[in-house]
Amino acid sequence: MLAGGLFRLCSSCRGVVSGVARGSGRWRTVQGRSRHTGWLELYERESVQRYLRRLLEEHEELSRRLQRAGPEEAERRLLAERRRRLLPVAAAARRLEAAGREREELAALLDDPSGCTDADLTRLLKEEEQHLSRRTAVLREELIQTLVPGDPLDGSAVVLEVVSGRTTGGDVCQQFTREMLDMYRGYADYRNWDFQVLNYSPAEHGGLHHAAVRVAGDDAYRLLKHEGGTHRVQRIPEAGLSSRMQRIHTGTATVVVLPEAGQLDVQMDHRQLRVDTFRSRGPGGQSVNTTDSAVRVVHLPTGISAECQQSRSQLKNRDGAMRALRARLQQSIMGKETESRLAARRQQVGSRAQAERIRTYNFSQDRVTDHRTGYNTRDIKEVMRGGEPLHHLIQDVLQHSERRALLEAAESPRQPAH
């Protein structure tokens, strides 16, 4: 079912590519590999197959145009860049095509009654058949994953904020907000990311009202971008009347995840900025809380502001505040550009915006539930440490989002994609 031309073999091994859907032929997908299920289901969709053929045909056409002497240098650069983006798709298609050749050769041996009379040889061929079936499932998954539209911001550093929300009583929200910050700090350690606190506003009894941090490292924004939203906590307070009566309190914390804007992404006229200095608040000591080292920067045309108070150096705090402000301005620009598209989808599937509840942490039942995917996991303490259990949850949400993005690209009217 792959495109013709450069991938001519696929027209002769159509049964290899779509045999699972038809349920015909010798080749079958080996059961028990549930991790491939989501992507393989997409592989069987006709809209995804049409999208795949379209991209492969475009790759062929770009290759032909680049081989001709016609295009000007500027146009050749554009064509070469577009072809470069399609190379992973073409390479994955070739790998699947090569597996198809091996399967056809093996099928010919097994189906030839005069060519396979030795029992041991037949057994080895059938074992190879099973191996190729598993390998084909993996190659199909890899091919479909190359079709997922890329996000140019995935490699960006992140400005992440946690903000205490409302509660039915007590200081549950503030404590949970601090635990959320610690969870993301632990996840940054797990991923070997840089974790820099920009702002920290503590609450009583060790809680937290608000904090802003900068997270930088491989795939930081790609993995954290779906953490933005309202996180709900359900727990029995550790002390007080509610604790004695075993009364469950419900609270929330809001997480905001912004890609850090580069110097060229958002241009700011310094004449439109107001810089305020003030005395640092919260934990610290010596000159941290005794000098006007904290900095707040306000973008006057929009009223958007950001502050930083974590360093004794006013210059370092100013730099941190400028980073956060630039990220918020970029998010504002991006929000205006995408609002019309989100409005069209909101009535059908919800906006998926950060104001919606996305996850519940139920300490009483030792369970974390992500409401976007239905993912459930136990051992809430391990999740809150920010290690592998949290990574599995984040990966599940990411794959759900990428599958949805691929379906939207495949089912949209023809346009430049990927």
> Which helix or strand (DSSP H or E) is residue 253 part of?
strand 249-259
Helix axis angle, 14-22 to 73-111, nearest 10°: 70
- pLDDT reported for residue 2: 44
The pLDDT score that the predictor gives to residue 108 is: 79
| Residues whose CB is less than 8 angstroms from the CB of residue 30 and which lie 6 or more positions away in sequence, other chains included | 130, 133, 134, 137
Half-sphere exposure of 356 (CA within 13 A, CB side): 11
pLDDT at 244 (0 to 100): 54
In this predicted structure, the answer to whether residue 394 has a pLDDT above a threshold of 90 is yes
For 288-320, the DSSP string reads: GTTSS-EEEEEETTTTEEEEE-SSS-HHHHHHH
- Assessment of whether the complete model's pTM goes beyond 0.85: no
Residues 326-338 pLDDT 10s: 878 877 766 655 5
Residue percentage of the chain with pLDDT more than 70: 74
Q: Which two tokens stand for residue 163?
A: 């903000």
Residues 14-36 have a mean pLDDT of 32
Task: Give me the mean pLDDT over the 208-222 stretch.
Answer: 93
SS3 content of the chain, % helix, strand, coil (to 5): 50, 20, 30
156 half-sphere exposure, CB direction, 13 A CA radius: 21
Beta-sheet pairing, 158-167 with 273-278 = unpaired
Residues paired with 199 in a beta bridge: 212
Gap between the Cα atoms of 54 and 413, Å rounded: 12
Q: What is the pLDDT of residues 116-125, one digit of tens each?
A: 667 777 788 7
Torsion of CA 14, 15, 21, 27, to 10 degrees: -140
pLDDT at 327: 79
pLDDT at 221 over 70: yes
Q: What pLDDT shows up at residue 20?
A: 34
How many C-alpha atoms does 402 have within 13 Å on its Cβ side?
22
**Secondary structure element (H or E) that encloses residue 349, with its range:** helix 314-349
Query: What pLDDT shows up at residue 247?
Result: 77
Tokens read off for 331: 């998010």
Instruction: Decide if pLDDT at 51 tops 70.
Output: yes
Helix (H, G, I), strand (E, B) or coil at 69: coil
Q: What is the pLDDT of residue 320?
A: 83
Domain ranges of the chain: 5-147, 158-408
Look at the block and give the residue holding tokens 């905001």.
256
Q: What is the mean pLDDT of the chain?
A: 77
* 74-89 mean pLDDT: 86
- Which pLDDT score, from 0 to 100, does residue 126 have? 80
pLDDT at 282 over 80: no
Angle between helices 46-67 and 388-411 (to 10 degrees): 80
**Alpha carbon distances (Å) from 122 to 99, 112, 114, 130:** 20, 11, 12, 13
pLDDT at 162: 94
Closest-CA residue to 213 (of 238, 185, 187): 185
More confident residue, 339 or 253: 253
Cα 318 from Cα 296, distance rounded (Å): 7
- pLDDT at position 170: 53
Query: For the chain, first and last CA: distance in Å?
Result: 20
Closest CA to 89 of 136, 41, 138, 140: 140
Contact 1, 53 (CB under 8 A): yes
DSSP states of 150-186 as a string? P-TTTTS-EEEEEEEEEESSTTHHHHHHHHHHHHHHH
Class of domain 158-408: alpha beta
Pairing outcome for strands 375-378 and 294-299 = unpaired
Chain segment 341-391, per-residue pLDDT in tens? 444 334 333 333 444 689 999 999 999 999 999 999 999 999 999 999 999
Give the confidence band of 217 by pLDDT, cuts at 50, 70, 90.
very high
Residues in the chain: 418
Beta strands in 51-157 (DSSP E): none
Query: Beta strand pairing status for 357-362 and 229-235?
Result: parallel
**Quick one: how far is CA 185 from the chain centroid?**
18
Mean pLDDT on 149-165: 88
pLDDT at 192: 97
Count of beta carbons in the 10 Å neighbourhood of residue 24 = 11
Say if residues 174 and 208 touch (Cβ distance below 8 Å). yes
Question: Which of 298, 292, 296, 297 shows the shortest CA–CA distance to 278?
Answer: 292
